[in-house]
Chain A
C-alpha cells in the first residue's frame, strides 16, 4: 500500500487499469442493459416495473461501496498520512453521491407504481438519505477551509465517523419492519432470485463497478494535475 503513495507509481497503475475499466464498463453495461430490458422475464407481480431494479439495486450497492471506500481511504489518510488515499477519498465523494442520488431517484420512481407513493419514511430510505447528506457534508467540508490540507483532514474525520451509517443501511431491513424488501441477493443461504434475473443484475453491478473505477481514475488524474498547477502557481508567485 505504501508503494502506491508515490503519485508517479500510482499514475502508472492508473494508466494500466484504465482501458480495462473502460472495456468492462462498456461491455457489462451494454449486455446488462440488453438482458435486463429485453431478455429477462417480467415479474409475476410487478410486471415490467421490475426492470427499474436493474438500475436501482447496483446503484444502491455502489452508494455503500463508495462510502466504504471513502471511509477506508480517509482512515488510511489519517493514520499514515497517505496522500494518494486522501485524494482517492476526495475523488470518490462526488461519484458516490451521484450513485446515492440515482438510487434514491430510481427507488422513488419504482415506489410510485408499487407502493403508491414516491417516498416513505422507513429505516432503509431514511438511512440512505442520511448517507446522501454525509456525502454532501464531506464535499462541503473539504472546500470550507482556506488551507486545503485542513479541509482534507476534517473531511476525513467526518467520513470515518459517518461510517457508522453503513452497517445501519445494510441491516436496517432486518432490524426494523420496513416497507423496503429485505436482501435477496447477498444472503448466507444463497440468492433468493432466479438466475434469469440474477445474471443481468450482476452484469449491471459489474458495469457500475467498472464505471466507478474509470471515473475514479479520471478524477484522480485531474486531482494530480490541479495539485501540480497549484504548486507551479505558488512557485511563480514566490519568484
Chain B
C-alpha cells in the first residue's frame, strides 16, 4: 500500500511539474470536438443528436493520445526495471500508474466535457448522465490502455500499434457510454447501461493489472 501511494504521488508530481501532457490532452479533446460543428455545419438539431457520440469518441482519442507515454518514459530511463524487480507486486504498481494516468488525463476530460456539451447543444437531461458515463468509462480506457502500452514497449511505431490493439477493445465501452446518454435524452432509464459500464470497470480492474504486469515483465526481461 505504501509502495502504491508513493508511486502514485511520484507520477502525479511528475505530471504536475512537467504539466504538458494534461494540457495537451485537453486541448486535443476540445479541438477535435470543435471540428465537428465546423465540418457538419452549425445546425442545432443535428449537433444535439450526435453530441454524446462526438464527445465520447473525442474523449477516447484524447485518452489514446497520452496512452503510449504511460510506461514509455519509465522504460526509457530505466526506472521501470527497478519497479519490476522491486519486492512489491507489479500488479499493484501497474494500478498506481493507471490511477495516476486517469487522474491526469481522464479526470480533466470529464471536467471539460460539460463545456463541450454546451458547444454541441447537448440537452440538459443528458449532462449528468454523460458525466456519470465518462466517470465510469474513462478509467476503463486507462486500464485497457495500460495493457496495450505495456505490450508495445520498445516496439517499432508503438504509437500507431497501440491504437490498433486497443481501440477495438474500447468499442463496448463506447457503445454503452453513448447509449446511456441517448437513453437519458429519450427519457428512458439509464440504469442498465451505467450498471454494465460499472461491470466493465470492475472486470477491467481485475484483469488489466495481471495482463499489464505480465507484459511489463516480459518487456524488461
User: Is B188 an interface residue, CB under 8 A from the partner?
Assistant: no
Chain A residue contacts of B215, Cβ below 8 A: 154, 157
Chain B residue contacts of A154, Cβ below 8 A: 151-152, 155, 215, 218-219
User: Is A150 an interface residue, CB under 8 A from the partner?
Assistant: yes
**B147 touching A144, Cβ below 8 Å:** no
Nearest B-chain residue to A131, judged by Cβ? B168
User: Is B169 an interface residue, CB under 8 A from the partner?
Assistant: yes
Chain B residue contacts of A140, Cβ below 8 A: 161, 164-165
User: B-facing mask of A133-175, CB < 8 A → 1, else 0?
Assistant: 1101100110011100011011001101110100000000000
A129 CA to B168 CA, complexed, in Å: 8
Nearest B-chain residue to A145, judged by Cβ? B155
**A144 touching B152, Cβ below 8 Å:** yes
Nearest B-chain residue to A160, judged by Cβ? B211
Chain B residue contacts of A161, Cβ below 8 A: 147, 207, 211
Chain B residue contacts of A136, Cβ below 8 A: 164
User: Is B157 an interface residue, CB under 8 A from the partner?
Assistant: yes
User: Is B111 an interface residue, CB under 8 A from the partner?
Assistant: no
Most buried by B among A129, A136, A144: A144
A133 CA to B148 CA, complexed, in Å: 14
Chain A residue contacts of B202, Cβ below 8 A: none
**B171 touching A144, Cβ below 8 Å:** no
**B155 touching A144, Cβ below 8 Å:** yes
Distance between B220 CB and nearest chain A CB, rounded to angstroms:
11
Nearest A-chain residue to B215, judged by Cβ? A157
**A150 touching B147, Cβ below 8 Å:** no
A146 CA to B158 CA, complexed, in Å: 12
A9 CA to B175 CA, complexed, in Å: 48
A133 CA to B215 CA, complexed, in Å: 20
Distance between B210 CB and nearest chain A CB, rounded to angstroms:
9
A/B interface sample: 6 pairs, CB < 8 A: A140-B165, A141-B165, A144-B161, A145-B154, A154-B152, A157-B147
**Interface positions of A (Cβ within 8 A of B):** 78, 126, 129-130, 133-134, 136-137, 140-141, 144-146, 150-151, 153-154, 157-158, 160-162, 164
Given contacts A78-B214, A141-B151, A151-B155, 12 further A-B contacts (CB under 8 A): A126-B171, A133-B168, A140-B161, A141-B152, A144-B158, A145-B155, A145-B156, A154-B151, A157-B147, A157-B211, A157-B214, A161-B211
